[in-house]
Amino acid sequence: MRKEFSPEERKEGFLEGKVALVTGGGGGIGWGIVTEFAREGARVAIVDIDERQSREVLSLAEEISPGHYFYRADIRDIGRFEGLLDRIEADIGMVDVLVNNAGVNTPHSFLEMTPEAFDQVYDVNVRGHFFLSQEVAKRMIAAQKQGVILFITSVHQEVVQGHPHYSSSKASLSMLVKEMAVELAPYGIRVVGIAPGGIYIEKRVEDPGLANDEPSVILGGKNGIPRDIGRAAVMLVSDYWSRHITGEVLTVAGGQYLLPASRETCRRLF
């Protein structure tokens, strides 16, 4: 059973002493997760294929707290996961928290879809994270570590987008959260997800007021920013806040899509 924390026992950081692996850590939402984890005391392994962006995020994390690393890796290359995790364990320790954040999309409708575009999206969004989670979970079980696996899905796991390969890949992750939660619960491993709505990632802004306008967001009329997802991730992977939560996907979207889509929104999609 996971330890119950009283308010008096809470440490300075909710993730103090934890090692977190964040795939896609150099991207927009990844930046928000990495920096918020760093603020809460975690040491973060940034895993991404984009070295330039990732090293920028690494520098930002190091300004907050020390002890973070970048590892260049392609999430599609499942044969290298064992070696990747061996390196992370040697550098900063065994992974306590895995964040499956990397994701891609292509501008194809159902009738325009090609096998190459379909495979590209599923290989990153589903297949790579499935087998990375499997390897991390096996190591947690062997070490009797009660860790957390977090998937970043999307509101498009339920809401039509016009890119069916992307939406269905995110729906797959939502179901995977539930399947894995049931199988890993006997080992004390929690599995959770976050479904972001529109997130402004063009610039690394920390002021929500600088996000782009989005009429479908009923809470403030603007898209969210990466920090919104980062802080939700802190809450879900922290045993202080979420010790008794598994198999759930939290929507973070400012109420986006609670109301029926307007004709204008449908025209934008299709």
Asked about 166 being catalytic, the answer comes back as yes
| Amino acid letter for position 187 | Y
Query: Is 86 in contact with 10 (CB distance < 8 Å)?
Result: no
Partners of 151 in the β-ladder = 100, 193
User: Which is the catalytic residue, given 71, 166, 240, 257?
Assistant: 166
Q: Tell me how crowded residue 255 is: count the other CB atoms within 10 A of its CB.
A: 13
Q: Residue 184 belongs to what H/E stretch?
A: helix 164-184
d(CA 195, CA 229): 9
Q: How far is CA 223 from CA 39, 152, 170, 197, 240, in A?
A: 23, 17, 19, 8, 28
Q: Which residues are catalytic?
A: 166
